[in-house]
Amino acid sequence: MDLLLIADEQVSMIEKYLYRGEMFALQDDDLKALCVVTQEEPGVYELKNIATVPKYQRKGFGQHLIAYLVDHYKGVGKELYVGTGDNPDILHFYEKCGFRRSHIVKNFFVDNYDHPIYENGQQLVDMVYLKQSL
């Protein structure tokens, strides 16, 4: 949960997808990165949370985990979505991992969280969705 909270800071929001999703952990001698994927409808999957242990960030583990997911769901699914706040660094990470912008859910962070969420001093308001074909 400590690691999941880095990517999504409200436990009640994590619990909405944690128990119906599949969790993947990238680990060798040590845990490197973690993510949760849900099925939203037949053939449509969504990456709900991904976090790399802070001391291992920017070493390729997040990208490697997403490449594994795409390979894992290929054949059973047709699309993989991910939603995130409008944060240029995170959007760049997902684009580097093969996602392309899809649509926006207006006011998602304001309507669904019990407190304002800030990243890099900027309040998150809308959810930006990206997707890639499987």
Report the interface residues with ligand COA, using CB under 6 A.
6-7, 33, 50-52, 57-63, 84, 89-90, 92-93, 96
Phi, psi of 66 (to 5 degrees): -65, -40
CA distance 103 to 23: 25
In angstroms, what is the minimal distance from the CB of 33 to ligand COA? 6
Of 27 and 76, nearer to ligand COA (C-beta) is 27
| Bridge partners of residue 127, in order along the sequence | 105
Of 32 and 77, nearer to ligand COA (C-beta) is 32
In angstroms, what is the minimal distance from the CB of 81 to ligand COA? 12
Give Cα separations from 41 to 9, 62, 77, 132 (angstroms).
26, 25, 10, 15
